[in-house]
A and B are shown apart, each in its own frame.
Chain A
Amino acid sequence: MFRKKRINFGSAGWFLLPYFLVYFLFFFLPAISILPMSFTEWSIIGTPKFVGFANFKSIFSNRFFVQALSNTFVYTILVTVILTVLGLLLAILLNQKLRGRVIARTIIIMPYVISSAVAGILWKWMFERNFGIINTYLQQMGLPLVGWLSDPQIALYSIIIVNIWWSVGFNTVTFLAAIQGIPDELYQAARVDGASSFQCFKYITIPQLKPIILYITVLCAANSFQMFDEAYVLTQGGPLGSTTTLVYQIYTEAFKSFRIGYSSALSVITCAIIILITLFQMKINKGENA
């Protein structure tokens, strides 16, 4: 028995080894090296110059950082909340024995199949202020034109719409699988006890889905905190920096301005925030479970 277990572990280890080797060499090591780099001034060429906390000081006094931080938080919170709630509601809807639900499931997951860059380009055409399809219809209905991507007050919300359209299918399918995994006996027992549909949802579905909800929220929060593709394709961080996120700023500082030390410091801050958010989410979940 013991021997069999050991062999299983051994072969699994061998299969996992290449991945971990690549992960360690090309992801973990470079990621860790960002920390010492964040205390230097370096433009890729030459020797990094130690500058202490100068990069961090300069980041916190930079108005673009404050704007990027605020954009990132607004984006993360809205995307996480909407994606979780909408994903759950759609999953419940698609779990009903309705006609055409297979087609509906396919339609909902479909956007997720295309790359986010392609999704971005499609929406860029549709969002075009003067001659895009959405505004053309609005205009025909006598409504004013909306600067979906060109109005600094609106652009970030337009990107949120794109992200939700693109990724809600993934959450829906995940929730759907989890819902279908809840034993039917629980519902049957509850119904025998006279529970209403809402009570079944509140006292059976939600508690049973808790681990999945945690998984989805952690994933959504971490992913949306690192949003880049959509802003890159749709708005290039504009207008007036209204869609510049922390990761977008890291990219421009590192690969456009070649300020590696500064962008490393930005990465360290971003990473710290993501860790804090994840810990916070896990703590809430633990607290509720206790």
Chain B
Amino acid sequence: MLKKYGLLVSLIVLSLVLTSCATSTEPVETVDTPTESEAVAEVPAEKTTIVFWNGVGAPENVVLTELVKEYNETNQDNVYVEEVILDWSTLYSKILLDFETGTPPDIMTIQQSGLYQNVDLGVLADLTNLMPEYGFVKEDFIESAWNGSFIGDQQYAIPFDLHPLALYYNVDLFKDAGLDPENPPATMDEFLEAAQKLTVDTNEDGNIDQYGFGLAYSGGIPFRTWMSLLWQHEGEDILNESKTEAAFNTEAGLESLEFLQDLVYEYKVVPEQEQSPDDDFMKGIVAMMISGPWSQFDFNTVDGLEYATAPLPVFYDQPAAWADSHMLALPNTNDDVRMAAAMSFASFLSDNSLTWTQKAGHLPVKLSVLESDEFKALEKSQAFAVTLPDAHYYPSIKNESLVFGRDSNSPFVVLVESTLLNSMTPKDALAEVEIMVNELLAQ
């Protein structure tokens, strides 16, 4: 009998031993939650371990990992940060599950566009009173980023960076086409002229092998570009003032959409059905493209790619560009000690946001960093900095993930795909997507 179950018993024992080994390798001890009165007054004697969700996604997330490591090695706050690396999509679904099961992280990255939804679901802690305690004051931040961290009168996040759209262009290809790389296109006419000059059949085989501009037929950037063009029309917006109905089905919306379609089919300066302008830009197949500062991270790894950045050309009445912002938020744990530790860590990240800018490209939101000589030395970041006063967030709404989603049945993906794949007229596409958006807003 003993022999018969011997194997089973030894397997169980082995698994128990292995499990206990795994749990005993914790780097530091986690402090038990003290009572509320103790928490505010006392600094914990032992190290407080907090969990940080890094959701910014590859490849830039490694920069945050470096900062976490630096904080763990240098901080005097008696805090140890355990980092969990996720992508945005996983972070947004996992936070709901973990919050519901009572095991949320202590601090996490969040996009400004995802703030309202998570506040509405009650996931995030109100930081309004904590902010000044840790030195976060309005005067130190760019106004738009600071305001973006509020829902109503309450502040729910610490602004960490901003990433507006701007124009990237290949300096060598500009020179080859006889264009001045010091004077990138700033108006619609200049943009079209440059794009046409840069669209060439380099090996003269009858096929175009270098295009002036890169524009994917799907994904987030094309519809954010379209939104930027809409905002470049005075008085135009995506939704109405009360954010209850679509407001984009206008002459301005149509004109902007037709322009993007014309770039592909009329001016033929964009490869048809383009999948990845980033890849094409790195290969020198497209000479200009629109993206956020994050693209620099990849572009800088390409040997021989000499590129520069410029603010989005003013195609219509005024400068405007879509932007989003990375922020740091604290899920509602009601644990004052851990919240204090999380805020200390957030202060460290905020104070070191220049490293984030230098390595990951995203713009700092602290005025002291923006005005520093170190930041001004970052040549390629300046175009994004110039754009800041004209940066537009998505309208802040509860159903953000539905309305501004990037899935194949998300309204604005349908809008650009229908138009850029030429399966619908821009007018019909706008009308259809207007209905979709209004249905989602009514939910």
Contacts and interface: CB of A to CB of B under 8 A. Distances in A.
A252 B99 CA distance: 20
Sorting the interface of chain A by its residue count into under 10, 10 to 19, 20 to 34 or 35 or more gives 35 or more
B405 A130 contact: no
A5 B207 CA distance: 75
Contacts of B207: 139
Contacts of A7: 4
Contacts of B195: none
A241 B402 CA distance: 16
B238 interface: no
B283 interface: yes
A240 B408 contact: yes
Interface in A102-138: 124, 128-131
A203 B189 CA distance: 75
A43 interface: yes
A14 B8 contact: yes
A57 interface: no
B278 interface: no
Given A45-B123, A237-B408, A150 B89 contact: no
Contacts of A131: 280, 283, 285
A45 B122 contact: yes
B408 A236 contact: yes
Interface string A200-234: 00000000000000000000000000000000000
B408 A244 contact: yes
Interface stretch (A22-30, A32-40, A77-85, A253-261): A253-261
B111 interface: no
B274 A257 contact: no
B221 to A, nearest CB: 14
A237 B406 CA distance: 11
Interface residues of B, number: 37
Contacts of B113: none
A236 B8 CA distance: 45
A145 to B, nearest CB: 8
Interface in A240-282: 240-241, 243-244, 249, 252, 254-258
B97 A44 contact: yes
A174 B271 CA distance: 44
Most buried by A among B273, B406, B409, B418: B409
B154 interface: no
B417 interface: yes
A252 B273 CA distance: 24
B414 interface: yes
Contacts of A240: 408, 414, 417-418, 421, 423
B218 interface: yes
B218 A236 contact: yes
Contacts of A256: 89, 93, 401, 405, 407
Nearest to A240: B417
Contact of B218 (A44, A129, A238, A254): A238
A43 B218 contact: no
B96 A45 contact: yes
B100 interface: yes
Contacts of A43: 96, 121
A14 B1 CA distance: 14
B402 A257 contact: yes
Contacts of B99: 45
Interface in B380-438: 401-402, 405-409, 413-414, 417-418, 421, 423
A18 B407 CA distance: 39
Most buried by A among B4, B218, B283, B406: B218
Nearest to A62: B409
Nearest to B275: A128
Interface string B248-278: 0000000000000000000000011111100
Interface of A: 7, 11, 14, 43-46, 64, 124, 128-131, 139, 145, 147, 149-152, 235-241, 243-244, 249, 252, 254-258
7 tightest Cβ-Cβ pairs between the two chains A and B: A150-B273, A237-B408, A238-B408, A44-B96, A130-B271, A255-B93, A45-B121
Given A152-B423, A236-B406, 14 more contacts: A45-B121, A124-B275, A128-B275, A129-B273, A130-B274, A237-B407, A237-B408, A238-B218, A239-B417, A239-B421, A240-B421, A252-B409, A256-B401, A257-B401
